[in-house]
Amino acid sequence: MREEDLLHAESYRDRASTVTNSGKRNWIYALKPSGKWYRYRKIIAWFYLASFFLIPFIKVNGLPFMLINLPQGKFILFSKIFWPQDFFIFAIAMITFIVFVVLFTVVFGRLFCGWVCPQTVFMEFVFRPIEWLIEGSPSQQKKLKESGNKTKIAFKKTVKHILYFFISFIIANTFLAYILGMDEIIKMIREPISDNLGLLTGLIVFTFLFYSVFAFVRELVCTTICPYGRLQGVMFDKDTMQISYDYKRGEPRGKFRKSSERTEGDCVDCKKCVQVCPTGIDIRDGIQMECVGCTACIDACNEVMESLNFKKGLIRYASENEISSGTKFHFNARMKSYTILLSVLMVAMAFLIFTRKTIETNIIRVRGQLFQEVAGGKISNLFDAKIINKTNEEVPLTLKLEDLHGEIKLIGRQRIKLKKEAVNEYTFFLEIPKKELPKHSTRIKIGVYRDNERIQTIRTKFLGPFNNNF
């Protein structure tokens, strides 16, 4: 290894690729990738972007397909309303998600970051292409900067930043549509600004946030800010699949010379893999936390290998064990245990979602009330019913006493008709013939019927006299 490479190999972990020796920001001018992996990522990115912008417009049975209204505690997924009462489903969903992310990371490294993380998708497939379009390729950008042509620079930068701001504004609107619903956003657009100052402020804050992230912060989100990126190191092991440089095959690196027989490894030290890297690292230094797994270096290196008639795959998806000892990828004990845990959680999730009630009834005897003897030799108890209707339609219901003869008399209403998406409260007297109550406290069952179908059975207690000598 040459002396400069040796020095670099020993010092690269002491420096951030995005900071110059004098401590200033090292602006990354990444080359535009091209190749098989970039094409695949582009397809996924466009599908992803189309889904992101279209989902807020999709409604099924009058309900948004997805809504995450944290301030009101209202969540809609797949057009099904989830209430705070369903919070345990969310808790299990969150745990399942975390286990999934951990398992996924243990096996496939930063695949999420490179392929579907919103930061990467928006940066690499929306904002950076706009930069290439307006300011040209990275070398043209550098040339323009060095030329000192202030008018041209100012013009290009202004156009770029106006476009960046406009796109950030659209992203912020879409983001808010996931929280408030598209109807609310459209209403806000139609109403006078003074009626929606709070929302408008939120919109502007989000717009500036997205704009500053994509215009200035960029790869620092992945290399410095993102907690998932920081955690990667503890999840990886030697069997983790990641983007790796095959140092066994590539080293010792050396320039390609047509005339002489090659004695070095396959790396011709062209540095294409470095120039294309959006985080500015050299993958040949080994696995690094800054690598977002974007595959750009695989494409760049494959192109070089192909042009020299070398075998492709000097940089490829491979585990450390695969590179160092040639062993094939295998499912190790840690991966197996995570998979079992994940399967159990997924089954539990499916069960909870499948058995989740859209109407939830709770009936309790009114506190402080005992019983009353009423006409016809009957005993009466007063009950409160709280019925949550999670659907977006009004639902007529009937309550019936099961197993015993009795009558339910609603107070102030003729029948039960649940308001949509609301907690409905009713009070009723339940009258049971005295002769059917042999004890002071009798366990009773009240059936909740929708369209003559019993959807729930409530168990509670009915109080009668202590000495019921019928």
**Rule CB under 6 A: which residues touch ligand SF4?**
243, 245, 250, 267-273, 276-279, 281, 283-284, 291-297, 300-301, 304, 314-315
As measured in angstroms, the least distance from the Cβ of 270 to ligand SF4 is 4
125 pairs with which residues across the strands?
none
Please answer whether residues 223 and 290 qualify as being in contact, where contact means their C-beta atoms are separated by less than 8 angstroms: yes
As measured in angstroms, the least distance from the Cβ of 259 to ligand SF4 is 19
Smaller CB separation from ligand SF4, 75 or 317:
317
As measured in angstroms, the least distance from the Cβ of 22 to ligand SF4 is 24
Helices (H), 241-397: 247-250, 272-275, 296-307, 320-325, 333-355
Smaller CB separation from ligand SF4, 26 or 398:
26
Please answer whether residues 278 and 294 qualify as being in contact, where contact means their C-beta atoms are separated by less than 8 angstroms: yes
Smaller CB separation from ligand SF4, 268 or 345:
268
Name, in order, each residue with C-beta under 8 angstroms of 186's C-beta and a sequence gap of 6 or more. none
CA distance 342 to 337: 9
DSSP string for 89-138: HHHHHHHHHHHHHHHHHHHHTTHHHHHT-HHHHHIIIIIHHHHHHHH-SH
Please answer whether residues 86 and 189 qualify as being in contact, where contact means their C-beta atoms are separated by less than 8 angstroms: no
Smaller CB separation from ligand SF4, 264 or 407:
264
Indicate the SS3 state at residue 147: helix
As measured in angstroms, the least distance from the Cβ of 314 to ligand SF4 is 5
Smaller CB separation from ligand SF4, 213 or 296:
296
As measured in angstroms, the least distance from the Cβ of 227 to ligand SF4 is 18
CA distance 98 to 102: 6
Smaller CB separation from ligand SF4, 123 or 430:
123
Taking alpha carbons only, the member of 438, 392, 387 closest to residue 416 is: 387
As measured in angstroms, the least distance from the Cβ of 45 to ligand SF4 is 14
As measured in angstroms, the least distance from the Cβ of 283 to ligand SF4 is 4
Smaller CB separation from ligand SF4, 292 or 388:
292
CA distance 407 to 436: 13
